Structure 1
Amino acid sequence: MKHPQTSKNRRLAARTRLHPVAVASTLALLAGAGAAQAQQAAPAAGAQSLETVVITGIRKSLDSAVSLKREARGLVDGIVAEDIGKFPDTNLAESMQRIAGVSIDRNASGEGSKVTVRGVGPQFNMVLLNGRQMPTSDGAGRAFDFANLSSDSISALEVYKTARASSPTGGIGATINVKTARPLDVRERIASIGVKANFDQSVSRLPNEIQGDKVTPEISGLYSDVFGNRTLGIAISGSYSKRSSGSNNAFTGNGWETRRVTTGTNGTAYAGAPASNLVNFPTSGFISHTNDVRYRTSGLERERINGQAVLQFSPTKELKFTVDHTLAINATTNRAIENSSWFGPSFSGPLNGRPPTTFVRAGDVSDPVIQTATWDGTHDYAMYAALFANKTKLNSTGFNTAWKVSENLSVDLDVHSSKSRTRPDSPYGSNNVIDLALFNQGNTTMYYDQKFPVMESKGLAYDSNKTTVTGSQFENNISDQDVDQVQLSGTYQLSTDDKLHVGLGFTKLKNRAAGSNNFHGDWGGIGPQGSFKNQNVAQYSLPSFFSRIPGSGDPRQFQTFFVPNFEALRAQAIKNAQSYRPTSLEPGAPLSAAEAEAYFSPYPDFTKGNDWRTTEKSTAVYGQWDHSFDTAIPMNLSVGMRYEETKITSSSQVTSFSGAVWYAENEVRLTGDTRTFGTKTGKYSYWLPSIDWDADLTSNLKVRASYGENIGRPNFGDMLGGIALNKDSGRYNVNGAGSTGDPALRPLKSKNLDLSAEYYFAKSSYVAAGIFHKKVTDFFTTKVVQQTFPGLNQPASGTYFNAARAAGIPADAPKLLRNYIFQNYNGQPGVTVTDATDPTFLKGNIDGTVPGAQPLVFNISTPSNGGGDTIKGLEFNFQHMFGSSGFGVSGNYTLVRSGLKYINNAATTDVQAPLVGVSDSANLVGFFENDVWSIRGAYNWRDAFLAATNDNGNNPRYVDAYGQVDVSIGYKFGKNLTLQADMLNLNDGYIRSYGRTKTQHISAIQTGRRYLIGARYRF
């Protein structure tokens, strides 16, 4: 029988092979947490604390991260603050892309907001704050938005890549623990304040009317101290930031429609277009087209307040109480201007100098690289003004007790209640649009032969006598999520080499997403053309807003960008509604002043919209055994099992309809709104084993092997009861749309195998390589089911419609078809003319009660559990310090492959189960640091990836490869004052997305460089 003390001494000898900085960091990490939790990979509240390390610069920050990686059981990576209250990046998501296997999604302002780990998308990563599950009120999803959290009060990020019995489920990509300072772990007085001035170049690339402030402030502060012989600790931190930015997007708003190639009757080849109009038209495979082109500029304003207060009391060394509250408020306002042309499936021939519609083929998919629409000079060119304003508020209150009951037993109890609320932050609602149309657009040709969508429209010019408001939308949307959680854990030291960890957890999560949409498609105009001629509409050079995107300077591009004003348009529309009843859908007397005001305002409640409520209750119990082998080669083994049981109740209010009306050239709307409410339930339970092994083959070489199983829960939007039909999704000659959910969906399950090796070849320097393999089953897929509903008929069908077609009117001329029906059948069942002022453009309604009308077909998106496949990849990362020169370099590269791909050569209605977010990624950082200077440069790259599968139905949206260069420079005056300059996106990159082929342009977003200059003083 081996002697316990000999075993202990041998293990300690093995550990002293670490260099002194790593040892010091490790000891500091473990201070106050107790040996019982030193090697817990599960980031439960009260676990070992990185905050105990006094960090003063880049090098020691990296040392602490190396120590975390080397000492942990399982694969763990981290980023540690360079100093308490000074995180190395301005954004937490952008910090995490430095870690191998982690890549980020950027929001409209170019800022990192969500993370993908090892090809697994944001909704399948579990984000914790000090070991607690945090709510995220984005409505239908689970992905946490890191833009809501300031980096100033964060002391560390821990990324747990392997499953552990003690880790909460849901993070099949990773479990990410965001850590904040704890005063009794810091054990000293710290007081600091920082100020920054933020300049975003993208602001200067906007029209003057929507530009924000060119310079905006950021301020942060931290105070932490201990009292009463270190028995009482208080920490208070807070930050305020305001950011003005802009983004310019050239995109299609309705995606690309894809259908199988068929040859129609009467010589037509596609969408009613004669074959003579089409060049290189395919005879097999799939054909795609888009319906519109849009050019949008957006002025973004973000105001963010973060704060945290922590009170700790430790009456004895064995007992510690912690109470904390976290507040995060993030208010965003977006003023957007959009110019757009709707051309639908128009494939005109080479008329009036226009080129024919020309197709290119990629695989089995053919797209129009040139698409021509022939208009008569009265087609509408839209100029919308929008105001989007929302505020998200997070409040989290927690209580923790850490008790070392005896020399061998430690117990930890953690309780928290957290709430996130998103509300409209404007008197007009959350998402509000008014559409001003210019009715003099003639022949238009789109060119998709470059990365920028080029629209040629000769003769189009602003004429105030040809303008009127044609549509409006005022939305009230709210999102709520509450998380109440209790976690009890204990560790018992069985022997010198053995520990037993057990735990019990209860989580109740309530999610609500509700909204109302006061939408009016007044395509005939709110008042006659010219009734908005007194409105100021500024004019700019359209290409100037997109100078970084190749193709924006094409001489064929229409050159002018029109900028109306949202408030002015609304005010005039209200006046017009009191003189002219605004919509052909509601003929009758003009509206009163109160009615007109309500017509252009959000609904005051949610009785006219959808209301989705889901409650998810989970119970978990786990056990884990840790063993250290006292052998010639030191080894560690952890074996665990977690049992998880979840019950789901989903109640949904959805809107039903009784009719449909073809009320404008391309638009079909559902009518007869009624609300229904229903409830569905679901439940599931899983046993989830895990095992971690590591060995120190030499003093510098460590190898690891891990196996674990985890689950990824369905999004809340996939668990809704009832069928939600899109009231305004119907269009002439196009199916309507809707969606439904299923709370009985099984979670995605992943079986994960990891192998890795780490070589620590010098002080603060190492190289590491790893292989991972995930076997994914029960993956979520969306199938599109075509369905009809009683009473909902397609108005563009039946006896009258067939007569118009028989008269020789082509299928792609809805305006002429409507005019024929109005001229010949006005007053007949289902046909009503409301405006006969212009005999060539009669206005009115054709509804689904016309004789012979066929049922309106809806594409209903339905989630289900699909099959499975693998995610596998390689990770490489390194870090090297060049002796004592102050220079260093670090980097990583991740290669990911998966069989869960979107099949581009498949019909839209085919069932697919692709995994979004899978991509290779790389990061390279170089830095220099001495007692005065701190300089860092970073290049971050992400390869092309699938971002969504619901673009215009069941179609893909890919994001092209993207890279960004960032630089930060710090200069110290003495011991307390530091000046800092951060320069982000120095390469001034843009982000482009596309559909099944790269010709299928979906969007190209241009932002700009960003500069921050600031100072930080530590008292």
Structure 2
Amino acid sequence: MKHPQISKTRRGGQLAQRLKPVAWASSIALLTGAAAAQAQQTGAAAPAGAASSPTSLETVVVTGIRKSLDSAVTLKRESRGLVDGIVAEDIGKFPDTNLAESMQRIAGVSIDRSASGEGSKVTVRGVGPDFNMVLLNGRQMPTAVIGWEGAGANGSRAFDFANLSSDSIAALEVYKTARAESPTGGIGATINVKTARPLDVRERIASIGVKANYDASVGRLPGPLQGSKTTPEVSGIYSDTFANRTIGISISGSYSKRDSGSNKAYTQNGWGTNDPAVKSVSPASNIVNNPAGLYATSRELRYSLTGMERERINGQATLQFAPSKELKFTLDHTLAMNTLHSKNAEMSSWFNNSFSGDLKTNPATQFTTGPVAAPIVQTAIWDGTHDLALNTGQYAQKSKLNSTGFNADWKVSDALRLEFDAHHSNAKTTPDSPYGTYSTMDLAMFNQGNATAYYDQKFPILSLPGQKFDDTKLNVTGTQFRNNLSDQTVDQFQTRGTYRLGTDDKLLAGLGFTRTKNRSASYNNQNNDWSGVAPSLGQFAGINTGTYSLSSFFSRIPGHDDPRLFPSFYMADFASLRDRAVKIKQANTPGMTQAQAEAYFAAASDYTRGDDWRATEKSSSLYGQWDHAFDTAIPMNLSVGVRYESTKVESSSQVVDHSGTTTWGSQNEINLASGGTTFGTKSGKYSYWLPSIDWDADLAENLKVRASYGENIGRPGWNQMQGGLSLGGTANPNGGGTGSTGDPALKPLRSKNFDLSAEYYYAKSSYAALGLFYKKVSNFVTTSSVDATVPGILNPASGTYYNAALAACGGNTQPLCIRNYIFRNYNGQPGVTATGPLDAAEVAGTITSAVPGATPIPFKVTTFTNGPGDNIKGLELNFQHMFGRSGFGVSGNYTKVKTGLKFNNLRTDQQAALLGVSDSANLVGFYENDVWSIRAAYNWRGEFLAATSDGNGNNPVYTEPYGQVDASIGYKLGSNLTLQLDLLNLNDGYIRQHGRTNEMLVSALQTGRRYLIGARYRF
């Protein structure tokens, strides 16, 4: 059917192209957030015999995938600056189950995945999650991120999309160019998440959806860690208007529960560079390819299995009142609760700098050739009494977001429009267990002999010749019960106005005030003194344990079936182990009550004895922008603006005082005392003028070109602005301790952004685009280390006894030789207490800083400074094609990113490298008719730098290329009921990370496929 053309007109300063009615419908759907886009005849039928109006239109209905893509094309084509987006196919039906996974379909957007395999944070054009501003209906949202596995609050500004359900989301808008009216912080992009508004929707919406979520990763766990393979999801939305469309009410809610599993092989304490113990192996020929330059060795190898339970509740209520067409008030509240629980079991072997020296009975440690040498075989020699670690832990936290906002939109006259917006929002993450956010019982079996690690394939292989399970050799070597708290509040007021000078000119101006209060606190009830348990073995015999096939848990990672792999995975039960430890602790401590013993193995309920960082950030902003449309032979648009941003920061910090007696209780750890707390406050401020300019031109009816320049800032992380000196709870006998301190006077990153693009709209709903971008980033926040000592903290691995032991061991600094010498020659002297036989291969006992001649422990204190910057540059290619009226369509994109802010693998000092820079690509195909809706998507992300430290110094962590295939199938039964099947991670991919070379495995993570089947009924 051929529709009449619509002549060109000026609409809001933009050129309205010769659009068919279906495109007009798509534009209206985007601007109003309507659930169905319609272009239809208006008014009553014409009298018989009357001539038909040349502009009368027949009804055209655009729905589903096609409507969503049409709306996204309209957004891209008609926006000033470079904007991409995703629009819901229907209110209550976003195209993906996770917002982050939806955004990865946009050119230049990549995602970071959580341990469960879900997308959680986004990287845009090589700029990491901390420097992408996320807004909810134009408002800055608070974040309350806690590092998993006991890391505490990590200071991140990144928004975690896993906390938001996609059910009530109407659209995602990604603004890639800086604009004066956009809040600062989005160097990569400003992302606006839009929810449905009842007065913007032209009809009543009422629907309910149910889903069953089947997660195959659960079946890859041992029975005690497994949750339910099938879990429920329920969602619903009601939106309607009353009193002649002067009152609008919208209520939406969702509940989802997901049980999942993740299996990981990793090196927790990273890779040590140029370990002198390698050079002390005698004879040196026992090291194959003994490296001459830079080399690294692993500290340990671990296999970790985790069963996770997530429960998410989202809700939103919106009330709108429009007493006239010129005035509209909106009051809304958003609630998001996300509860995470997990159970973990881990088996690991520490190598402790003990390298092979007997080639007749053990595989030799063998290195690759340079320029950075890595072991493909690494052997540690033990006498059969070494400890094989069998840790078990639990993790529990609850995140809660509450946001209440008010908006007034007033059309004062045909020329002037004003808008006022204010909100109070709080995000808080707290422990959700009496054992704290993070708890672990460090169990060890003291019958391990030699160990060999093989790093010659994707999966790391641990060989333990002759290892057997013997519960009479079990003992607890340490416990941690940590409480972490992250609490952030945002109070924001914004007012903006638009004044139309004429048909082709308008002025925009705005004023904003934002106050963000951030608190990060933690306290760790950590005991590394055998947890008060006598070191004699056998007291933990008979506890609940299990033996499983190790290789079966990693079936997707190449090399898991290597015959060299130790066949068994030993797992202890957390509750059984803790109960036994409580009984032993009480029995061995005269006068201790049951309640006191229980508290010994539980998290502290307050943070008065731990680290507590608090910061307040107050920002005020003012902007002005002029928009002009040139009515020339080549229609053009120009926007010129400037934004002024001023910020004050005050940071107060409470940190643990570690002065006191230190204890050298095991070969590689010196435990620092935990005393009272110290407190301090610092402040800083900065202000910037940030210009922006956007230009576009319609070179032809279907060809648009753009050019943009804009400046933006990215604020430092909260941890980088914290005052006070925070020390780690342990130190290394040879390497010393670590600490960190921040600086609230840090300047933000400043980015000057240039963009060029061309867009060719060659057919209805079809286009191809090329974009080039260049970002010049300055004030990059870098880390530096300062060598320091702390008054009152002395080193037990020093002094008279240590020096004598060092001489007796021939200068060999390996802790085993030195500790054995001190115990055998100075037992009972000040600071020396042997608790095991003196003729044992490894004498058990403690050495404290009370030894004569003890010197201060050296600390490497990490601090943050503003360093020089560099550039980020790249290109984006994207296309979308509809195959006529066949119902078939395809879209795709490719992004290439390069930066000078790289990590140099040949350097071992601290470096200012940009995280997350990677190439990415997407390909989506779909088919849709009145009954079926089928979509398949492939997403790929290239290798990127994930961290500049692997937990053991200045060593990089690279995430290797990863691709994932997802699909969805929808089937309509009548006009109201839709059946839906979502298939996620169909290729069953795994995620691998490595260090300076591919052989330096950091982690290999395996999850599994996920299937969701459900139905949605629309009333």
TM-score (norm 2): 0.94
Cα gap change, 1:214 to 1:459, in 2 (>3 Å): same
Cα gap change, 1:974 to 1:859, in 2 (>3 Å): same
C-alpha distance after superposition, 1:25-47 (max 9, x if no partner)? 223444599xxxxxxxxxxxxxx
State the match for 2:311 in structure 1.
Answer: 303
State the match for 1:3 in structure 2.
Answer: none
The secondary structure found in structure 1 opposite 2:672 is strand
C-alpha distance after superposition, 1:203-226 (max 9, x if no partner)? 000000010001000000000000
Letter in 2 for 1:1007: T
State the match for 1:966 in structure 2.
Answer: 966
State the match for 1:567 in structure 2.
Answer: 575
State the match for 1:669 in structure 2.
Answer: 671
State the match for 1:896 in structure 2.
Answer: 897
Q: Is the 8 A contact 1:477 1:514 kept in 2?
A: yes
State the match for 1:547 in structure 2.
Answer: 555
Aligned residue runs from structure 1 range 485-504, under 5 A: 485-504=492-511
Establish whether residue 919 from structure 1 lines up as the match of residue 926 from structure 2.
no
Q: Is the 8 A contact 1:294 1:338 kept in 2?
A: yes
State the match for 1:95 in structure 2.
Answer: 102
Shift of 1:604: 1.9
In structure 1, how many angstroms separate the alpha carbons of the residues matched to 2:829 and 2:187? 61
State the match for 1:936 in structure 2.
Answer: 935
The secondary structure found in structure 1 opposite 2:28 is helix
Establish whether residue 640 from structure 1 lines up as the match of residue 641 from structure 2.
yes
C-alpha distance after superposition, 1:47-103 (max 9, x if no partner)? xxxxxx997300010000000000000000000000111100000000001100000
State the match for 1:350 in structure 2.
Answer: 358
C-alpha distance after superposition, 1:149-196 (max 9, x if no partner)? 001111100000000000000000000000100000003111000000
State the match for 1:627 in structure 2.
Answer: 628
- Which 10-residue stretch deviates more, 749-758 or 946-955? 946-955
The secondary structure found in structure 2 opposite 1:754 is strand
Shift of 1:551: 1.3
Aligned residue runs from structure 1 range 221-240, under 5 A: 221-240=236-255
Aligned residue runs from structure 1 range 392-403, under 5 A: 392-403=399-410
State the match for 2:40 in structure 1.
Answer: none
State the match for 1:24 in structure 2.
Answer: 25
In structure 2, how many angstroms separate the alpha carbons of the residues matched to 1:836 and 1:9? 92
Cα gap change, 1:524 to 1:642, in 2 (>3 Å): closer
Aligned residue runs from structure 1 range 24-63, under 5 A: 24-31=25-32, 56-63=63-70
Q: Is the 8 A contact 1:216 1:243 kept in 2?
A: yes
Shift of 1:826: 2.0
Shift of 1:797: 2.4
The secondary structure found in structure 2 opposite 1:800 is helix
In structure 2, how many angstroms separate the alpha carbons of the residues matched to 1:984 and 1:103? 17
State the match for 2:204 in structure 1.
Answer: 189
Aligned residue runs from structure 1 range 466-485, under 5 A: 466-485=473-492
Aligned residue runs from structure 1 range 198-217, under 5 A: 198-217=213-232
Shift of 1:453: 1.1
Letter in 2 for 1:771: L
Shift of 1:831: 1.7
Shift of 1:360: 1.2
State the match for 1:218 in structure 2.
Answer: 233
Aligned residue runs from structure 1 range 184-333, under 5 A: 184-259=199-274, 270=279, 275-284=284-293, 286-333=294-341
- Which 10-residue stretch deviates more, 95-104 or 664-673? 664-673
Cα gap change, 1:182 to 1:955, in 2 (>3 Å): same
State the match for 2:195 in structure 1.
Answer: 180
- Which 10-residue stretch deviates more, 879-888 or 944-953? 944-953
State the match for 1:141 in structure 2.
Answer: 156
Shift of 1:672: 5.0
Q: Is the 8 A contact 1:712 1:747 kept in 2?
A: yes
Shift of 1:843: 3.1
Q: Is the 8 A contact 1:615 1:648 kept in 2?
A: yes
C-alpha distance after superposition, 1:341-376 (max 9, x if no partner)? 11122212135511221111342x222221111111
In structure 2, how many angstroms separate the alpha carbons of the residues matched to 1:656 and 1:241? 43
Establish whether residue 693 from structure 1 lines up as the match of residue 691 from structure 2.
no
In structure 1, how many angstroms separate the alpha carbons of the residues matched to 2:906 and 2:180? 41
* Count of aligned pairs between the two proteins: 977
Shift of 1:526: 2.5
Cα gap change, 1:765 to 1:598, in 2 (>3 Å): same
Cα gap change, 1:550 to 1:10, in 2 (>3 Å): closer
Q: Is the 8 A contact 1:947 1:957 kept in 2?
A: yes
Establish whether residue 116 from structure 1 lines up as the match of residue 123 from structure 2.
yes
Q: Is the 8 A contact 1:54 1:84 kept in 2?
A: no
State the match for 2:3 in structure 1.
Answer: none
Runs of 4+ in 1 over 6 A off after TM superposition: 10-13
State the match for 1:1001 in structure 2.
Answer: 1001
C-alpha distance after superposition, 1:424-461 (max 9, x if no partner)? 11121110001221111001111111111111111111
Unaligned residue ranges in structure 2 (runs of 5+): 1-6, 35-59, 146-152
State the match for 1:150 in structure 2.
Answer: 165
The secondary structure found in structure 2 opposite 1:829 is coil
C-alpha distance after superposition, 1:120-145 (max 9, x if no partner)? 00000000000000001013110000
Q: Is the 8 A contact 1:704 1:756 kept in 2?
A: yes
- Which 10-residue stretch deviates more, 796-805 or 924-933? 796-805
In structure 2, how many angstroms separate the alpha carbons of the residues matched to 1:837 and 1:858? 32
- Out of 719, 725, 729, the residue aligned to residue 723 of structure 1 is 725
In structure 2, how many angstroms separate the alpha carbons of the residues matched to 1:859 and 1:839? 34
Letter in 1 for 2:332: D
- Which 10-residue stretch deviates more, 529-538 or 148-157? 529-538
In structure 2, how many angstroms separate the alpha carbons of the residues matched to 1:76 and 1:336? 43
Shift of 1:110: 0.5
Shift of 1:860: 1.4
Shift of 1:523: 4.6
Q: Is the 8 A contact 2:532 2:585 kept in 1?
A: no
Q: Is the 8 A contact 2:367 2:376 kept in 1?
A: yes
Shift of 1:548: 0.8
- Which 10-residue stretch deviates more, 962-971 or 463-472? 463-472
State the match for 1:47 in structure 2.
Answer: none
In structure 2, how many angstroms separate the alpha carbons of the residues matched to 1:13 and 1:319? 25
Letter in 2 for 1:535: I
C-alpha distance after superposition, 1:370-411 (max 9, x if no partner)? 111111101110111110000000000000000000110000
Q: Is the 8 A contact 2:655 2:678 kept in 1?
A: yes
- Out of 391, 396, 402, the residue aligned to residue 384 of structure 1 is 391
Q: Is the 8 A contact 1:277 1:347 kept in 2?
A: no
The secondary structure found in structure 2 opposite 1:926 is strand
The secondary structure found in structure 1 opposite 2:369 is strand
State the match for 1:48 in structure 2.
Answer: none
- Out of 338, 349, 366, the residue aligned to residue 373 of structure 2 is 366
State the match for 2:851 in structure 1.
Answer: 850
The Cα RMSD (Å) is 1.9
Q: Is the 8 A contact 1:14 1:699 kept in 2?
A: no
Cα gap change, 1:54 to 1:849, in 2 (>3 Å): farther
State the match for 1:982 in structure 2.
Answer: 982
Shift of 1:864: 1.0
The secondary structure found in structure 2 opposite 1:774 is strand
Letter in 2 for 1:746: K
Q: Is the 8 A contact 1:493 1:499 kept in 2?
A: yes
The secondary structure found in structure 2 opposite 1:727 is strand
State the match for 2:135 in structure 1.
Answer: 128
Shift of 1:984: 0.5
In structure 2, how many angstroms separate the alpha carbons of the residues matched to 1:191 and 1:956? 51
In structure 1, how many angstroms separate the alpha carbons of the residues matched to 2:862 and 2:568? 39
In structure 2, how many angstroms separate the alpha carbons of the residues matched to 1:11 and 1:253? 57
